[in-house]
Structure 1
């Protein structure tokens, strides 16, 4: 059996906050490079920088990273590597966005002010300190399948909800606490969330360098304070310690991660419904999803991507911007 260490597909999660004066002129050369070497995934370009995840052969990933590092301000590009046995993306996209991670706070600039980075090997000591409040900056469905011991879950559906949540709960969160430790999947959301807290006048703010992914890669499981699995935004759905493939599936009707127990539920039908969304859809919608699922299976057999899936995903990406 292929192991993570020797799996043929390299997955690179990357970001860099920098200042791009003209993103449109960067898009086409970057997309052309990705397509030429055969990588797949999604890269986002905005005036504040670049963010995304791509997958391909080790050589292909190296070539794309070389191209990105030659872009303005990207020489110190932050990259986290993992591996997969099969391609976790269906195609390659380079999109222009207003933000590379949407928080909706236009005055926040991580290039000017962020929290203090904490290496994965030092993270346990920080979050075990009784003077530290630990905050998970991810969305509710991500937190549901795994988080750090003692972490506060904001129960937010979108990162855009985080500033309002923090302002509403600031006093109770900081009561008798001197330090704030924050974490996210790969580090990028914490760049903005710690910058936001500093703009709110909080100085003792820390964040996990490299995010959960770097922690799971670096810290031995028998020393870990992480419980559960880490949601990732590709077809792997989740990863475990050592960045091994996780156990979760996903509902392609509502996008929620699903446990084996949930996929065994009578409410689960592939591409149609799951226990999380069964009551939120009517019979007409479920019939439409079932037909879409049928067409997608036929398209996969032909080695194609079903157009309905592309249109649905493109609409979702536009709505999330």
Structure 2
């Protein structure tokens, strides 16, 4: 797998979309590529040689020269992405603050060792910029949870809870780093002076921190079929409820209300009997289809 992003001016994202889509299809890659005038954000899976060829072609383009990526391995035989999606959006990560320019200025990126120093500093406010459902899967103990349902709520939360004169040093983290690029750029634009971000996000931290030094608690939610990864970056024990889309920890999976594809403890009271019956029929049809494929 390859995961990468860059905030960089792209003059014609539609033309680039067509080019990258053709190259990814030819290489039989799956995953998601998001393009906007502000840059690129992508996660792709496929054979290693095919990924290498695609990467070589991408980084030969001037806007992506010197771009780095995070590489990881999926379990043999597993399907991380079912298909390829290449899309042009208004933003590669939606904050809806058009004046924010991460390509020009962001918070200071820090490695795991400096991150630990920030965690231990009582004068530093540490914020988890991810959404509440992600934080429920795992986080750094003591980090502030803004309890947001969408990254677009970040500016409103800051305006309500933070002030540059009171919170002089702010450190933040997210899954892979991209949200912090925008969140930190926006904070700096609001007058916050000392803003730090965890380099590479949680996934970069887990890839680099020595096992005996790890401060992460729980698993890390990811936006693919793995749902979450553990501290070794292997697929975790968290699953996703197919009825409501929420991540479920082992305790929730053991709850009587959890019926795969039909309901979970978090949504069982939100769905009508008719809706749950529809989910049950969908599960039945999926099992029948799987059985037909297995028998040829």
- TM interval, short-chain normalised: over 0.9
Q: Deviations over 1:237-284 (max 9, x none)?
A: 111222122111111121111122211222112122111111111112
Gaps of 5+ in 1: 1-10, 304-321
Q: Does 1:141 align with 2:133?
A: yes
Query: Which residue, out of 87, 92, 98, partners 1:95?
Result: 87
The residue aligned with 1:49 is: 39
Q: How does 1:177-216 map to 2 (within 5 A)?
A: 177-216=167-206
Aligned residue runs from structure 1 range 298-309, under 5 A: 298-300=288-290
Q: Do the aligned residues in 2 keep the contact of 1:19 with 1:73 (CA within 8 Å)?
A: yes
Question: For structure 1, which segment, 218-227 or 139-148, has the greater mean C-alpha deviation from structure 2 after superposition?
Answer: 218-227
Distance 1:302 1:99, change over 3 A: farther
What's 2:97 paired with?
A: 105
> In structure 2, what is the Cα distance between the partners aligned to 1:149 and 1:16?
29
Aligned residue for 1:218?
208
Compute the TM-score of the two structures, normalised by the length of structure 2: 0.93
Aligned pair 1:127/2:114, yes or no? no
Aligned 8 A contact 2:168 2:192 in 1:
no
Match of 2:5 among 15, 22, 30: 15
**Farther-moved stretch of structure 1 (156-165 vs 59-68):** 59-68
3-state SS, counterpart of residue 64 of structure 2: coil
State the number of aligned residues.
291
In structure 1, C-alpha distance between the alignment counterparts of 2:183 and 2:34, rounded to whole Å: 19
Which residue in 2 is equivalent to 1:240? 230
Do residues 275 (structure 1) and 265 (structure 2) align?
A: yes
The answer to whether residue 191 in structure 2 is matched with residue 167 in structure 1 is no
From 281, 290, 293, the equivalent of 1:291 is 281
Q: Is the partner of 2:106 in helix, strand or coil? A: coil
Q: Who is 1:81 aligned against? A: 71
Q: Could you tell me whether the CA contact under 8 Å between 1:182 and 1:206 is conserved in 2?
A: yes
Helix, strand or coil at the partner of 1:45: strand
Contact 1:218/1:242 (<8 A) preserved: no
| Residues 84-134 of structure 1: CA deviation (Å, up to 9, x unaligned) | 112211011101111100111111110111001101232111221111110
Question: For 1:32 and 1:300, how far apart are their aligned partners in 2?
Answer: 31
Which residue in 1 is equivalent to 2:250? 260
Change (3 A) 1:110 1:292: same
* CA distance in structure 2 between the partners assigned to 1:94 and 1:302 by the alignment: 32
Superposed CA RMSD in Å reads 1.7
Q: TM-score normalized by structure 1? A: 0.86
Q: Is residue 186–residue 211 contact of structure 1 (8 Å, CA) maintained in 2?
A: yes
The Cα shift of 1:295 comes to 3.4
Contact 1:133 1:174 in 2 (8 A): no
In 2: Cα distance, 1:23 partner to 1:246 partner: 35
**Cα drift, residue 298 of structure 1:** 4.3
Unaligned runs of 5+ residues in structure 2 are none
1:66 to 53, 56, 60: 56
